Amino acid sequence: MKAVIIGAGVSGTLTAVGLARAGHDVEIYERAPQLRDGGNGVMVWHNGTGIMKDLGLRLDGLGQRIDAADVWSYDGRPLMRTDMAEIADELGTPGLGVMRGQVMDRAVEALPPGVLRFGKKCVRIEEAGTGVVAHFDDGTTANGDVLIGADGYRSVVRRHLVGDVLPRAMGLASWHGTTQVPIGLGSEHVVPTYYGRVGLCTIHPVGQGLIHWAFEVPWTGALRHIPAGAETADAAERPVAGSRLATLRKGFGDWAPPVRELLDALTEDDIAVAPHLLHRVAGEWGRGRVTLVGDAAHVVPPRIGMGVNQALEDAWVLSRTTAAADDPALALRRYEQIRRPRAKRIHSTARMMQRANPLLLALRRTRKGVNGTKMLRANIVRGSSFLNDDVR
């Protein structure tokens, strides 16, 4: 079977690895002139690292092992501790804080040669009986037995399947970056997140002395990623007029010491802005010989740290359902059927988490905070359950 994949982001490259390992020919078509392996730190949870191992990706030297996720109130009272080392002992794979680009680089090094094609913006899809044709803006085409849309939240393939439905803006944005900031975290293996009424601040070690930090603040702008230091032509896309750093210092400047120290060390150009988006998980996200993976199918806001993990889960399931399938269309429907309930649960959790600040702050009354290990374990194990199933 030959698979044409649109988009060489995290999900496109991982899906290509999975499909190639399942014995298929793959071609990835990316609109950018080269790999877009920028971005900040992301979490790969225990089931995600299990999938990476299973797909044959190298884990050595990748990111930073995370042993605990601690939730604090803005003034430094413990609200919740999640013991990720305990889950790692049980499942045999670690949770990692890692740069987005590193996950892509590990995927790309596992690809057969000649798979990636750059400068190919897909503009139209044509379903043609036993095949699919992708049309590009330079007038060329690519034919496949199946076509996988891995082209992010503004997906052209999604538009072909379900119409032009943009994800919903959640009214929040992450103001974030990755820097070598010398602040006292106590351990390089712990992710602390501070919650207050105005938002949150989370700090992830991602290895090599780097930390990814993110502040969540209200957002009323248009749907567009704005890189650090960039000015946009359209004033409506600016999150606020004036200095981003001054805005953060005003909102978070009197929080617990690591947050204050972080804000003292940052500069204006360190801060990129990414609005929080959420897709309604479509009842059907594929048809015939076409399907979607990653953000094209189910974008969620970063608060639950599931963007890359979902891409991994998609890639893994798709590789399994297509491995021995005689009918490519049926294999794609089986993949969607397995992934949809999980994506829907993550969608519900994401909605709930956007409103969780007052609930979490109510835990300030507890002396030591509560133990969140069981909750995370359930989420990860649920996300891994299909790993143990025969999904073919």
Ligand X SMILES: Cc1cc2nc3c(=O)[nH]c(=O)nc-3n(C[C@H](O)[C@H](O)[C@H](O)COP(=O)(O)OP(=O)(O)OC[C@H]3O[C@@H](n4cnc5c(N)ncnc54)[C@H](O)[C@@H]3O)c2cc1C
Alpha helices per DSSP H over the chain: 10-21, 46-54, 84-91, 100-109, 156-162, 244-252, 257-265, 295-298, 307-323, 328-353, 357-361, 373-388
Shortest Cβ 308–ligand X spacing (Å): 5
- Per the CB < 8 A criterion, the answer to whether 196 and 255 are in contact is yes
Shortest Cβ 299–ligand X spacing (Å): 6
Question: What angle (nearest 5°) sits at the alpha carbon of residue 315, between those of residues 311 and 316?
Answer: 120
What's the length of the chain?
A: 392
- Lay out the site mask for ligand X across 25-54 (x = CB under 6 A, - = otherwise): ----xxxx---x-xxx-x------------
Shortest Cβ 184–ligand X spacing (Å): 24
Shortest Cβ 138–ligand X spacing (Å): 11
Please state, in angstroms and rounded to a whole number, the distance separating the CA atoms of residues 120 and 290. 18
- Near ligand X in 326-345, by CB under 6 A: none
Tell me the residue number closest to ligand X, measured at CB: 9
Q: Using the rule CB under 6 A, which residue among 20, 62, 142, 150 binds ligand X?
A: 150
Candidates 124-132, 288-296, 339-347, 383-391 — which segment interacts with ligand X by CB under 6 A? Answer: 288-296
Please state, in angstroms and rounded to a whole number, the distance separating the CA atoms of residues 319 and 313. 10
Candidates 238-246, 278-286, 302-310, 374-382 — which segment interacts with ligand X by CB under 6 A? Answer: 302-310
Shortest Cβ 361–ligand X spacing (Å): 25
Q: Is 122 in the site for ligand X (CB under 6 A)?
A: yes
Residue whose token pair is 């603040």: 217
Candidates 66-74, 149-157, 187-195, 323-331 — which segment interacts with ligand X by CB under 6 A? Answer: 149-157
Q: Using the rule CB under 6 A, which residue among 311, 318, 350, 360 binds ligand X?
A: 311
Structure tokens given for 148 = 């996988």
Give the residue with the Cβ less far from ligand X, 32 or 362.
32
Please state, in angstroms and rounded to a whole number, the distance separating the CA atoms of residues 319 and 332. 10
3-state SS class at 265: helix
Q: What is the dihedral of CA 184, 190, 191, 197, to 10 degrees?
A: -70
- Near ligand X in 58-87, by CB under 6 A: none
Q: Is 384 in the site for ligand X (CB under 6 A)?
A: no
Shortest Cβ 96–ligand X spacing (Å): 14
Q: Using the rule CB under 6 A, which residue among 67, 151, 313, 336 binds ligand X?
A: 151
- Lay out the site mask for ligand X across 213-252 (x = CB under 6 A, - = otherwise): ----------------------------------------
- Near ligand X in 87-116, by CB under 6 A: 100
Shortest Cβ 156–ligand X spacing (Å): 4
Structure tokens given for 111 = 């690809």
Give the residue with the Cβ less far from ligand X, 7 or 94.
7
- Lay out the site mask for ligand X across 6-25 (x = CB under 6 A, - = otherwise): xxxxxxx-------------
Total number of residues binding ligand X (CB under 6 A)? 30
Give the residue with the Cβ less far from ligand X, 6 or 79.
6
Write the CA distances from 40 to 37, 99, 140, 252, integer angstroms.
10, 6, 33, 21
Give the residue with the Cβ less far from ligand X, 42 or 66.
42
Q: What is the DSSP string of 48-117?
A: HHHHHHHTT---TT-SEEE-EEEEEETTS-EEEEEEHHHHHHHHSS-EEEEEHHHHHHHHHHTSPTT-EE
Q: Is 360 in the site for ligand X (CB under 6 A)?
A: no
Q: Within a 13 Å sphere around the CA of 327, how many CA atoms are in the beta-carbon half?
A: 6
Shortest Cβ 236–ligand X spacing (Å): 22
Neighbouring residues of 322: CB distance < 8 A, sequence distance ≥ 6: 1, 3, 19, 22, 24, 146, 328, 331, 332, 335
For 151, phi then psi, to 5°, come to -105, 35
Neighbouring residues of 250: CB distance < 8 A, sequence distance ≥ 6: none
Shortest Cβ 118–ligand X spacing (Å): 9
Q: Can you give the binding site for ligand X, defined by CB under 6 A?
A: 6-12, 29-32, 36, 38-40, 42, 100, 121-122, 150-152, 156, 294-296, 302, 307-308, 311
